[in-house]
């Protein structure tokens, strides 16, 4: 059979779940990467119909877990939408494995964007009527629609009422929510000079229990000797590797049973990619001694008016998965987690 006919037949055989035909067509050089008029490849067809073994076969043949069709759905999205939980699980594990290996490879090659943060910190920022904080390139640094999320994050990290740390002030939404809970102390780390000036102008240095550390968390937290009961992390112009680096600091920043939470905007333009990243973060935090649960909160910011004039539409989902990570340090005699463990791609 010629490769074009074999490829067309592969799409049909994958949808129908005919495993032996799929295998035979692959041997006849059918193209598993081919995407038809709707942008669907054979693995997407198999995933939409819940054929786990064919999905596994096509993954092993090199089909990327994260190819998307013309509507922006990947194979995992199609499996989830059709209620095929076990198929979604196969793809979730494949996604985690691939991303962890990629991350480990990039780290070992020293591949990392470092200029973006430097550029951001040099830019002039603008507070738009308290509704949003914008950078000089029309990117929203923080937006008021996040207020209910910040309220929920504050609730999680202030549960013990003790010493609380927030990294990244932005609009100060979470800091207002923390203040309403009157913790014993409230430390805020902020790196941008315009945001810091705004904080001083608003009198944040005189608010009860507040200590402001002006500078990048990378510079002001390591070696500070500070310990907290609750920590929240929400910065801007930093990447997943920066977040990992922050996570490595956590065992030295949190008291036992302390709560850590972060703005969960990982891959927030696709539901399945988002799930993969939530699971990667959970697995990596587990290696550092954290038990993580995600609390699902409905969120609707789909009104186009919200995003008028904003270049980076950083949220596109209808459910927010709020991470609540409890620090359970290893008991005496148990091995302490290390940065090296964390880089394993086998979780
Ligand atoms: C998304 S906003 C935080 C919003 C905040 N959660 C709120 O409730 O309004 C991000 C903030 O982190 C600050 N930031 C960015 N990188 C930082 C870093 N490396 N260290 C400390 N602050 C940083 C930004 O200047 C910005 O004020």
CA distance 211 to 214: 10
* Same domain membership, residue 190 and residue 305: yes
CA angle in degrees (0–180, nearest 5) for 121-122-125: 75
Q: Quick one: residue 297, left, alpha or beta (phi over 0 = left, psi -120 to 50 = alpha)?
A: beta
Rounded to the nearest integer, the mean pLDDT of the chain is 92
Residue 85 lies in a domain: yes
On the 0-12 / 13-18 / 19+ scale of CB atoms within 10 A, 24 is: middle
pLDDT score of 345: 30
Q: Which atom of ligand 1 is nearest to the CA of 125?
A: 25
CA distance 281 to 133: 27
| Tens-digit pLDDT profile for residues 99-116 | 887 776 676 665 556 688
Residues in the chain: 347
Q: Is the CB of 195 under 6 A from ligand 1?
A: yes
**Contact at 8 Å (CB) between 237 and 195?**
no
Residue 347 lies in a domain: no
Q: Is the CB of 192 under 6 A from ligand 1?
A: yes
Residue 104 lies in a domain: yes
Question: Helix (H, G, I), strand (E, B), or coil: what is residue 171?
Answer: coil
* Same domain membership, residue 283 and residue 237: yes
- Of 54, 87, 108, the position where a domain reaches its end is 108
Q: What is the CATH number of the domain that holds 218?
A: 3.40.50.150
Average pLDDT over residues 25-29: 92
Beta bridge partners of 232: 166, 261
On the 0-12 / 13-18 / 19+ scale of CB atoms within 10 A, 142 is: buried
ipTM exceeds 0.85: yes
Residue keyed to tokens 């780290």? 107
| Tens-digit pLDDT profile for residues 138-171 | 999 999 999 999 999 999 999 988 999 999 999 9
The residue to mutate among 124, 170, 242, having the most atoms of ligand 1 within 8 angstroms of its beta carbon, is 170
Q: What is the CATH number of the domain that holds 68?
A: 1.25.40.20
* Same domain membership, residue 330 and residue 213: yes
Domain residues for the domain of 159 are 115-342
Closest residue to atom 3 of ligand 1, CA basis: 170
Instruction: Work out the percent of the chain whose per-residue pLDDT is above 70.
Output: 93
* Same domain membership, residue 156 and residue 85: no
User: Given a cut of 60, is residue 203 above it in pLDDT?
Assistant: yes
Q: Tell me the angle at which helices 3-16 and 19-27 cross, rounded to the nearest 10 degrees.
A: 160
User: Given a cut of 60, is residue 343 above it in pLDDT?
Assistant: no
Q: Which atom of ligand 1 is nearest to the CA of 166?
A: 6
- Of 54, 78, 108, the position where a domain reaches its end is 108
* Residue whose C-alpha is closest to residue 340's, from 104, 94, 112, 99: 104
* Same domain membership, residue 53 and residue 182: no
- Of 108, 133, 156, the position where a domain reaches its end is 108
* Same domain membership, residue 208 and residue 119: yes
If one counts the domains in the chain, the total is: 2
pLDDT score of 232: 98
* Same domain membership, residue 194 and residue 318: yes
């Amino acid at each position: 059979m010629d490769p074009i006919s074999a490829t067309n037949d592969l799409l049909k055989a994958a949808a129908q779940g005919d495993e032996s035909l799929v295998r035979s067509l692959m041997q006849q050089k059918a193209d598993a990467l081919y995407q038809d008029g709707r942008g669907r490849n054979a693995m997407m067809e198999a995933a939409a119909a819940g054929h786990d073994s064919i999905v596994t076969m096509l993954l092993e043949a090199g089909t990327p877990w994260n190819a998307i069709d013309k509507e922006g759905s990947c194979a995992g999205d199609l499996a989830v939408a059709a209620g095929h939980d076990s198929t979604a699980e196969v793809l979730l594990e494949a996604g985690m494995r691939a991303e962890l290996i990629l991350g480990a490879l990039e780290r070992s090659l020293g591949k990392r964007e470092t200029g973006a943060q430097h550029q951001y910190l040099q830019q002039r920022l603008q507070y738009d009527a308290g509704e949003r904080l914008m950078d000089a390139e029309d990117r929203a640094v923080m937006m008021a629609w996040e207020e209910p999320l910040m309220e929920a994050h504050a609730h999680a990290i202030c549960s013990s009422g003790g010493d609380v740390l927030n990294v990244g002030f932005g609009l100060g939404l979470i800091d207002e929510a923390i203040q309403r809970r009157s913790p014993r102390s409230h430390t805020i780390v902020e790196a941008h000079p315009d945001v810091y000036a705004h904080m001083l102008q608003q009198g944040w240095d005189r608010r009860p229990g507040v200590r402001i550390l002006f500078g990048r968390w990378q510079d002001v937290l390591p070696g500070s000797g500070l310990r907290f009961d609750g920590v929240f992390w929400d910065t801007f112009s930093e990447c997943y590797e920066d977040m990992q680096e922050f996570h490595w600091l956590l065992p030295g920043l949190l008291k036992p049973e302390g709560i850590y939470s972060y703005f969960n905007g990982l891959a927030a333009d696709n539901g399945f990619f988002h799930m993969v990243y939530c699971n990667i973060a959970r697995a990596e935090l587990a290696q550092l001694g954290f038990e993580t649960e995600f609390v699902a909160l409905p969120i609707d910011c789909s009104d186009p008016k919200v995003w008028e004039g904003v270049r980076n539409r950083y949220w596109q989902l209808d459910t927010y998965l709020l991470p609540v990570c409890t620090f359970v340090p290893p008991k005496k005699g148990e091995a302490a987690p290390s940065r090296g463990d964390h880089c394993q791609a086998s979780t």
